[in-house]
Structure 1
């Protein structure tokens, strides 16, 4: 049988066709527009997503036996607000995860309602990307639209609805709405009261691997697929990407070294995190996960090499680095502010410790180390939760650098594994489809059978000890400079 994984991203939808053994048969990508009606605003037309999705499915399955397609599931950009009226028509363009218009609403939730209360209700604090502040914004600025709301949905859930006719969501994606009681995996009555919604205005909540329905008759006919094709709930992009890297089960950890950096830690149990320093969300494997996000990971490398020293020869620059653990230059990678653990948009990128004998290689090394130290900030928080991590899986563009993987292994004191798949979210969605269709008994079983480690970078105890001393200095730099960052931002 064949399974379709859909990764509904911000700029495009990526579709993947996988067989029972995990072999990828086809990959198709379709782009769609992104709109910026005002500075700091970011919107999309949900109908564009579904048009790209149906066109992509036709292309994806054109050369296969369509009768063998058994299920379809999703990874989706999180937090986006899709609102439907009584006829299930889209009321206004979707407000996306990277839209920054809701700072006043977040201040209201965190400061007037109270961060402690919001966290008690949902496990998280209000951030501008989340869905609940967007609803408050619509309520204040577009009351006529707020009054029309019959259903509130997330981006991938709108696509699932268009395929199946079922208003659904899943626990992992819903965790990022600031409307879900994450611990108990149900809608928070207290949050609904604060926003001014009723529970029937939200979709039914499923686990990510559960079947929500099958293809509608007209959709099946249009796609040339059987009506029996199962639609599986899917999950938020980071949770499903974690499934695609096999980061499921207690203590499994994945580091995504993309434009931003994500530390994703699977956990069988829910736990509250002091000061909301990490996100606490439900996981697509049926359990929970902690997530730390730094905003400039590989972006720091690109900025330094492309814009500052003016080179595209990254390997050549890295080849000049020869003294791991012995560099006295430090870099704070806060080029776009920082989320974990500081939640401070005023934080700034900073080099410190240069002397007359500091070299270009020292600066490049400091940049790579600074990102690794910032990732360690998330690890230090998880240690306080009693989570012991001795190895991680790594993906993203930065993971292509053997030197950076080595630095991360030594800074975090972990083994760093690379796996046999680089497809992340779309592959994870296909795995969820296979689990939902009964091919595997659990997400953990499927990941164990389909995902294999192909390369491991081990830490050096001598360098680990040196980096421990360096980290003790790094972690004191931000609190020392915070007041200056705020003054600069003013």
Structure 2
């Protein structure tokens, strides 16, 4: 029995087909080969076309099928992971009304900050576990205020993964986990937040039906099944944001377990059973994929916007001819500390861990007689690792003290230089696994379809491929110089 996982990323779509019996990948595909465009209409804005996502999802699935490694008709369930916090709007005919305002868009910061003050900071934190900040609810409010002609035509708003499920099945649904990442969910009253809905003046009819993450979110329509050479009626049985899904893919489901990723953005995501929150809302708490009213499972999320995006920018600036692997090797030639060169990797919108400030990416202490490309590469990787350390210290202030962090061996964790820097500056060992978000989505589909008897069974064949321990090499002096530079910007 086969499972199909779809990972809707910012840069591309990845699809994987997984054998449920062995949990091994039978085939996978990524589309497009180049990174998908982000539309920037004004500084701090970021939009993508949902129809582009849908086109790329279909192409990734077809590429997988065309490899001839399995019978597409054997696929029994579909799971979806998606870039978090985006806003998709459709009319009564399920037609998209505008491009999606995506996760790194900063236009709604002030909208959310006003709501935070008006509703009451302590009330928001204790009920929503977050400030409304720059999340989906505030983006919807921005559309209501600035694009009333669009708002008046909305039949349903949804998160990006809800949209892909709608295109597959024709049905619109969401989950508590998705609503919580949009800051729509009242955790104390276990319902949609009446305070937020009343403050912004939202009509509850705009909200999709709420279903468990692991449940049937509709069956594949005959027309789409024919187009993709799949069986009609295959259920979509799992939808989750990329970071909760990344945690699931690493079998991070229980209190105290922690996952990390270093893709376009960087994230540390720890599971808690407490309705806890950061007083400054620098780290955010959402319902995890296995959250229920009776068994609280919360994901405490630290996000850094400028991680893979910062490294990609550097690659383009220095010519783009070298591969990331070659860049990693060149960066390792420079000494630890990059001969004093410091990098703040915050050039991708408002950073929540910096109280939604837009600090920008910066190079500091450049010495024209000393610093080379190798120093620049190392300084960028060190700056990203230092940003993780800065955020992890905030998580520690809030009771999250990991003894080990699990991560997929991909993106920046493919770099030995970055991984060793991350481990040494945080002081926490990292277990690396050979998996990704699309595989996690496929396994989530198996859990949702009851093909696995429990989440534990879904991961019984998963083992780390590498354990990286702190080496004792101290980067503390360089980190404290970096932190001093950052604090001057705040």
The alignment's TM-score, normalised by the length of structure 2, stands at 0.84
| Residue of structure 2 in register with 1:172 after alignment | 177
**Residues of 1 paired with 2:315 and 2:97: CA distance?**
44
The change in CA–CA distance for 1:92 and 1:367 in structure 2 (over 3 A counts) is: closer
Higher radius of gyration, 1 or 2: 1
- Give the secondary-structure state (helix, strand or coil) at the position aligned to 1:234: strand
1:430 equivalent in alignment to 2:442: yes
| Residue of structure 2 in register with 1:487 after alignment | none
| Residue of structure 2 in register with 1:377 after alignment | 390
- Deviation of 1:331 after TM superposition, in Å, equals 4.2
| Residue of structure 1 in register with 2:467 after alignment | 456
Deviation readout 1:452-480 (Å, 9 max, x if unpaired): 2011111134x3xx44565455444433x
- Give the secondary-structure state (helix, strand or coil) at the position aligned to 1:10: coil
1:410 equivalent in alignment to 2:395: no
**Residues of 2 paired with 1:84 and 1:192: CA distance?**
19
- Give the secondary-structure state (helix, strand or coil) at the position aligned to 1:175: helix
**Residues of 2 paired with 1:183 and 1:61: CA distance?**
45
CA contact (8 A) 2:157 2:206 kept: yes
1:36 equivalent in alignment to 2:31: no
- 1:317-336 aligned within 5 A: 317-322=330-335, 324=336, 330-336=342-348
1:255 equivalent in alignment to 2:267: no
- 1:46-85 aligned within 5 A: 46-61=50-65, 63=68, 64-85=70-91
Q: 69-78 or 81-90: which moved more?
A: 81-90
- Give the secondary-structure state (helix, strand or coil) at the position aligned to 1:275: coil
1:236 equivalent in alignment to 2:261: no
**Partner residue of 2:489 out of 482, 486, 489:** 482
1:439 equivalent in alignment to 2:451: yes
- Give the secondary-structure state (helix, strand or coil) at the position aligned to 2:259: strand
- Give the secondary-structure state (helix, strand or coil) at the position aligned to 1:212: coil
| Unmatched segments (≥5 aa) in structure 1 | 484-490
CA contact (8 A) 2:104 2:305 kept: no
Deviation readout 1:36-77 (Å, 9 max, x if unpaired): 383344444444444444454445345433442210010112
CA contact (8 A) 1:243 1:285 kept: no
CA contact (8 A) 2:348 2:360 kept: yes
- Deviation of 1:183 after TM superposition, in Å, equals 6.1
- Deviation of 1:275 after TM superposition, in Å, equals 0.4
- 1:91-110 aligned within 5 A: 91-110=97-116
1:401 equivalent in alignment to 2:415: yes
Deviation readout 1:298-334 (Å, 9 max, x if unpaired): 4555556764799944345334345x58976654433
CA contact (8 A) 2:78 2:442 kept: yes
Q: 239-248 or 427-436: which moved more?
A: 239-248
- Give the secondary-structure state (helix, strand or coil) at the position aligned to 1:211: coil
- Deviation of 1:355 after TM superposition, in Å, equals 8.6
| Residue of structure 1 in register with 2:23 after alignment | 22
| Residue of structure 1 in register with 2:287 after alignment | 282
CA contact (8 A) 1:124 1:280 kept: yes
The alignment's TM-score, normalised by the length of structure 1, stands at 0.84
The change in CA–CA distance for 1:120 and 1:410 in structure 2 (over 3 A counts) is: same
The RMSD of aligned alpha carbons is 3.4
CA contact (8 A) 1:43 1:96 kept: yes
**Residues of 2 paired with 1:315 and 1:66: CA distance?**
38
The number of equivalent residue pairs is: 473
| Residue of structure 1 in register with 2:305 after alignment | 295
**Residues of 2 paired with 1:11 and 1:121: CA distance?**
34
